[in-house]
Amino acid sequence: MDQSPVNVNASGTASNTYDAIVIGSGISGGWAAKELCDQGLKTLVLERGRNVEHLIDYPTAMQGPWEFKHHLRMPREVLEANPVVARCYAFNDATQHFFVKDQEHPYIQEKPFDWIRGYQVGGKSLLWARQTQRWSRFEFEGPARDGIYEWPIGYDDLAPW
């Protein structure tokens, strides 16, 4: 058994004590942190990726498709090197800098699952092409239909907008 001393910070204070820790700042992590903070919990969000600054970190935002070497299509060697990421509709010349490269961050796939990742503040939400499809009444009623709960808002609440 290893008898080396344990490195314990016994001088910790309330300033580095949290009620909740959220891993990742993507859509789910960001929303979880918001909800926890709204409930008055001192919340720490840990993000492994970089901060993305508006305008500065979007180097391709003002380019048209014709200005990219491959006109938003990816070369075969890039697609072959990134077989999981390549299945994402948003992976192209303009967005590839926001995606995790498959060969650099492999994972064991026991069952078919495309783990598309983006290591930056906001996670994959930066890859949604700045759009979200409008939900139908059917989607809003999903949790209730599954016997879980009713959402606090429904389709009719958002219909005016």
8 A C-beta contact, residue 129 and residue 72: no
Please give the pLDDT value at position 36.
98
Percent of the chain at pLDDT above 90?
Answer: 62
Average pLDDT, the chain: 88
Percent of the chain at pLDDT above 70?
Answer: 90
The sign of the dihedral angle between the CA atoms of 54, 56, 69, 119 is: negative
8 A C-beta contact, residue 84 and residue 115: yes
DSSP 74: P
- 46 forms bridges with which residues in the sheet? 23
8 A C-beta contact, residue 15 and residue 38: no
Residue 83, token pair as written in the block: 């077989």
- Which amino acid is it at 76? R
Q: What value does the CA radius of gyration of the chain take, rounded to a whole number of Å?
A: 21
DSSP 43: E
Residue 160, token pair as written in the block: 């005016």
73-94 pLDDT, tens digit each: 999 999 999 999 999 989 999 9
Q: Which of 129, 108, 121, 103 is nearest to 33 (CA)?
A: 121
Residue 1, pLDDT > 60, answer: no
CA distance 19 to 159: 37
122-136 pLDDT, tens digit each: 998 888 766 778 889
Please give the pLDDT value at position 146.
92
Chain centre distance of CA 116: 9
